[in-house]
Amino acid sequence: MTGPTHIFDKPNRYIGQSAPRADAARLLQGRGRYVDDVSLPRMVHASFVRSPHAHARITAIDTTAAKSCPGVVAIYTGADLAQHVTPYVGVLTHLAGLRSAPQHPLALDVARWQGEPVVMVIATSRALAEDACEHVMVDYDPLPATLDAETALSADAPLIHPEFGSNLAWERVVNAGNIDAAFATPGVKIVEREFRFGRHTGVTLESRGTVCDFDPSEEYLTVYYSGQAPHMMQVIFSKHLGLPEENIRVISNDVGGSFGIKIHTYGDEIATAAAAKLLRRPVKFIADRFESFVTDIHARDHVVRARMGVTEAGTIVGIDFDDLTGIGPFSMYPRTSAIECNQVLNLTGAPYVLENYRARGRVVFQNKTLMCQYRAVGHPIAMAICDGLLEDAARLIGMDPVDLRLRNLMADDSYPRASASGMKLDDLSHQAALRKLTQIMDYDTLRADQAEARKRGVYRGIGFVSMVEVTNPSPMFYGIGGAPIASQDGATVRLDAGGALHVSSSITEQGQGTNAILAQIAAGVFGVDLNRVKVTTGDTATTPYGGGTWASRGAGIGGEAMLQAAQALKDQVLEVAAVMLQTTPDKLDIQNGNVTDPDGTKRMTLADLARTVYYRGNELPSDLKPELIATRHYRVTDFPFVFTNGAMAAQVEVDIETGFVKVLHFWAVEDCGRVINPMLVDEQIRGGVVQGIGGALYEECHYSPEGQMLNATMADYMVPMAAEMPDITVAHIETPTKTSVLGAKGAGEAGTGGAPAAILNAVNDALAPLGASLWQMPMTPERVLTALDAAAG
């Protein structure tokens, strides 16, 4: 037999791959046996036994029966993998006081949420692995569970990590001005509300998945990873599996949706990589939809008690709030689960002039799925707190909510400046965005329509939000805290011998159009047709080092790196062309794949130039050493973030008999700086709005008193479908950021961040004539009817 041979020292246990059989025999010194390539599949599949309890001590694990099941290759417990994977802790040093316990890929002595992986079974097919999981016997001693964030800090609450002495993970207070004195000022009226935001999750089209392949001949691990940050994961696999970073390749191509869900470290994925290393063969794990619901990170689990003070003349004197959020039993690694609460503290009221501001955030452990960053981290909570109170205050003092906003929004010519919480702001257009919004929606006509509808017993509402969006983060976001997360991104642009461009970037493609944006920037700057640009992303072996795609940074950071690299290559090419054409670079240009005079007269093709450089370099002066390739990296340096701003509005109709809320129309005016590709930007905003509608009206993870997730199927977990999508009108104001040449800010999360607040305000506007209001999301029919019943007495 010739060709590659897969070698096993016992049935189904892979040792390695070699070329001829004789070499394999010498390698194994007669210890192994040969298995023909077609007799047994080389790649094996992982399935997991997961805890059925929210909190339980693991007293015994018996895998005897499972080991004898057909196709089983290996079985690992938490104790087995603890010998090969070092634990990880989700803390960052700049979040002072944040604490979390060490976490392992598989639970060791205690399971702390329903769905936590306890045992991993490896078999020759996923079906056989799942069958064998049924034969793993795990004895549990159930423990009292802490589920409710509001009782997690009580003296009698069960402790999830007894060594900490409480379930408090982190606390922070922000205090500016004197809120008590401001609220005590004569003439100041106070509105006070309790907001509740339902825990929900990102339902990605493609579930989490990985294929890990270990080459023992080179001690080299290749990980195919459905995620957002390949270089981050390269560091994590290196650190916790004991391999050099250069011996790990992470590939993340064409991911089927992420929304922040796939930017974290999951135990089942780390376990899959460890199994590949131990078995020395490829191991595949794809989460099924149930596993996704109980293991993908959740978000938005907040209870907020908030107050706003406003004068009769419409001046907001301050905001005071307390935010309590539950994060599950651990802080997620490596980005932590405190970031969402921190964002709420930082972003609430950011568009407005506020002299007095007090905010407290507390993050607590609970026996539910881990919570962490999901699209528009913290923004829906922050925008709903401020703008919900603002519209409540407008009703209290009898002022139109648009007028109240215009009195208090930061002036467009007042930047740079800081928000009440200390966020550095620049290049924003809140006033212009709101004015444009009222124009495109024909606000006065909508109000007249609303009044007429009420006469007919039809209750329609109009709600607004003025918002900011965190984009283009600097090293002060994660890197300063010690996380292996690059704030910079890199781009490489190469001219091939045929005159085409090959570009690579460290940002990744998850369906948002990253590759199209990169190609568009490279083609436009360099001077070739778009179809002559080939893009590579998502591969640590072939792309420059960078952070990947998160926090709406793809165009703003990755795009700027691409612009700089394309310009550097263009300068190289024009220098070579000037020598060949006996002129100077400033008298040449590149247009449509040709070197031209400034007026467009063709002088030579890029292919001719490239072939001269690559094939006939002897024809060039010896001191001219063109490379025809350029790499550039870019990071934001002057600000912690680059802020996008927007103004949004929703029109809803509330059926007071059934409680159903229908979104009739939605409008968004976005200022994301320079708009590179209007179609992609508009659809990003629309997609974000739909996810925001989900959080406002439909999506919530329901748990039983015992900590069982009750709606972990697509039949039970409600997401907005095509029928629930309203017409969404999008318009733009362009205020380029001064932090880059490109001038682009992010746009990927604004819709998700702003839509819930606008819909909340629209529903309450519709209910106002009936004396009812609702401050809990999602605003389900049952909750709407409950609010109406309460108002009716």
pLDDT 10s digits, 575-611: 999 999 999 999 999 999 999 999 999 999 999 999 9
Q: Is 423 exposed, middle or buried (0-12, 13-18, 19+ CB in 10 A)?
A: middle
Average pLDDT, the chain: 93
**In the predicted structure, residue 16 carries a pLDDT above the cut 60:** no
**In the predicted structure, residue 632 carries a pLDDT above the cut 80:** yes
The crossing angle, in degrees rounded to 10, of helices 750-767 and 379-397 is 30
Question: Left if phi > 0, otherwise alpha if psi is -120 to 50, otherwise beta: which for 569?
Answer: alpha
All structural domains of the chain, each given as residue ranges with its CATH number in brackets, are: 6-32+488-634 (3.30.365.10), 35-143+207-255+262-295 (3.90.1170.50), 298-475+638-792 (3.30.365.10)
pLDDT level of residue 329 (50, 70, 90 thresholds): very high
Quick one: which of 287, 302, 346 has its CA closest to 695?
A: 302
**Percent of the chain's residues with pLDDT above 70:** 95
Q: In whole angstroms, give the CA distance from residue 92 to residue 479.
A: 9
3-state secondary structure 400-417: CHHHHHHHHECCCCCCCE
pLDDT 10s digits, 160-211: 999 999 999 999 999 999 999 999 999 999 999 999 999 999 999 999 999 9
pLDDT 10s digits, 525-544: 999 999 999 999 999 999 99
The confidence score (pLDDT) of residue 775 equals: 98
pLDDT 10s digits, 749-780: 999 999 999 999 999 999 999 999 999 999 99
Q: In whole angstroms, give the CA distance from residue 305 to residue 310.
A: 17
Quick one: which of 18, 122, 283 has its CA closest to 6?
A: 18
The confidence score (pLDDT) of residue 694 equals: 97
The confidence score (pLDDT) of residue 505 equals: 96
pLDDT 10s digits, 680-695: 999 999 999 999 999 9
The confidence score (pLDDT) of residue 485 equals: 87
Q: In whole angstroms, give the CA distance from residue 160 to residue 110.
A: 10
pLDDT level of residue 344 (50, 70, 90 thresholds): very high
Averaged pLDDT, 262-276: 97
The confidence score (pLDDT) of residue 476 equals: 75
The confidence score (pLDDT) of residue 641 equals: 87
Of residues 78 and 8, more confidence is placed in 78
The confidence score (pLDDT) of residue 486 equals: 87
Quick one: which of 433, 344, 340, 416 has its CA closest to 385?
A: 344
Q: In whole angstroms, give the CA distance from residue 373 to residue 377.
A: 5
pLDDT 10s digits, 427-446: 999 999 999 999 999 999 99
